[in-house]
Amino acid sequence: MNPFRRSPFVLFAAMLVYVFLYLPIFVLVLYSFNASRTNVVFTGFISQTGSQVVMDGSNVVQSPCGAFHWYCELSKNKDVTNAAKNTLTIAVVATIISTIVGTMAALALQRYNFKLRPFSQLSLYIPIVIPEIVMGIGILTLFSQLFGWINNALNLEGASRLTLGLGTVIVSHIAFMIPFVTLVVQARLQGFDKAYEEAAMDLGANEWTTFQRVTFPMILPGVLSGALLAFTLSLDDFVITFFTNGPGSTTLPIYVYGLLRRIITPQVNALSTVWIALVFFTVLLLQWIQNREQK
């Protein structure tokens, strides 16, 4: 018996919170089909031809793409496609590297005793307990000072000068993702029985074969959830990227932020809707995989 299980208060509160969570998303998606170019008021869905009833007298759009006009515009927008490419490149590269490095660290921290262990464990908590902006400007300061020094020392000119760009963003993402990967994998390793590895070695497998054939497959779910977390953190990251990106390395969040400060067009809504849809299907896919694994 659980006193709160069927409490109407809890149900009501929970539903209200869900409404709070989803109302903004719903509005965002709805406005992506807005016929008004300024996107101030929702003036109705875009039609392919014919006239629109205009309530606020704003410029009404007609488009061969119909209701999906802003999505068509989006796909033609070079800045958006570039930013999307950058975002994905950064996320994929940084996720792969931080997952490998973070998993190694988790193995070290969970399995071995060494002098630097307490220091290492502590250093991994730092990015979690300090605001991202502190890390962001720290890294920015490091890069600008370091690059300035190198450029001067080597007399680099023009295009060969070291500047902020994709490389600096990727390196910075790796730095803030490693602690998360490590902590997730470490949590999974806590329940790992050493007997499995001993059994493998007992049956004739050396250390490397044991890792490949037994340890790694067994910790793989943990490593994957660490990688997934890292990937989403990278996709979502604004602050670190904001301080470490340079010309040509704009990511989607940075691009959207830039737009918001200047103009608001339903294109942003269309972009957001695409993003939300992708997230939705990714989460759905993951749930499905997870469910299948449990069976």
Partner 1 sequence: MASEFAVELRDVVKKFITPEGSEMAAVDHVTMQIRNGEFFSMLGSSGCGKTTSLRMIAGFEWPTEGDVYIEGKPMGHLPPFQRNVNTVFQSYALFQHMTVFQNVAFGLEMEGASKDEIARRVGRSLEMVQLTGMDRRRPRQLSGGQQQRVALARALVKTPDVLLLDEPLGALDLKLRKEMQLELKALQQQLGITFIYVTHDQEEALTMSDRIAVMSKGKIMQMGTSVEVYERPANRFVAEFIGESNFLEGKVKSVKGDQAVVDVPAWGEELIGIATGKVKAGDDVSVSIRPEKVRLTDKQGIKENSLEAVVTTSTYIGSDTHVYLDVRGQRFKVWEQNRISTLDPRAYYANGQKVWVTLLSENTLILPKA
Partner 2 sequence: MLKRLRENKSAQGTLLISPTLIVMIGLLIIPLILTLIVSFGQRSPDGNVIYSFSLDNYIRLAGFSTDCTGGASFCFNPLYAQILWRSLALAFNTTVLVIALAYPLAYFIARAHPKRRTTFLFLVLIPLWTNFVIRVYAWMMLLRKEGVINIILGWIMGLLRIPFTPLEMLYTPGAVLVGMVYEFLPFMILPIYTSLEKIDNSLYEAAADLGANSIRTLLRVTLPLSMPGVVAGTILVFIPVMGTFIVSDILGGRQVILVGNLIQRQFLDARDPTFGSAASLILMVLTLIVTYFYTRKFGFGEEIVVA
Show contacts with partner 2 in window 164-183 (CB under 8 A): 171-172, 174-175, 178, 180, 182-183
For partner 1, the binding residue among 205, 239, 259, 276 (CB under 8 A) is 205
Q: If binding is defined by CB under 8 A, does position 289 make contact with partner 1?
A: no
242: closest CA among 174, 167, 169, 162?
169
Q: What is the per-residue DSSP string for 225-237?
A: HHHHHHHHHHHH-
**C-alpha span between 172 and 242 (Å, rounded):** 11
Going by C-alpha positions, the residue among 244, 241, 273, 246 that lies closest to residue 257 is: 241
- Exactly one of 12, 196, 280, 288 binds partner 1 (CB under 8 A); that residue is 196
19's CB contacts (< 8 A; 6+ apart) are none
Which residue's CB is nearer to partner 2, number 48 or number 56?
56
Is 205 or 224 the residue whose CB approaches partner 1 more closely?
A: 205
In single-letter form, the type of residue at position 193 comes to D
Distance CA 102, CA 24 (A): 36
Instruction: For the chain, give the number of residues.
Output: 295
Site for partner 2 in 226-285 (CB under 8 A): 232, 235-236, 238-239, 242-243, 252-253, 256-257, 260-261, 264, 268-269, 271-272, 275-276, 279-280, 282-284
Q: Minimal distance in Å, beta carbon 114 to partner 2? A: 4
206 lines the binding site for partner 1 (CB under 8 A):
yes
Judged by the rule CB under 8 A, the positions of this chain that interact with partner 1 are 193, 195-196, 198-207, 209, 213-214, 217-218
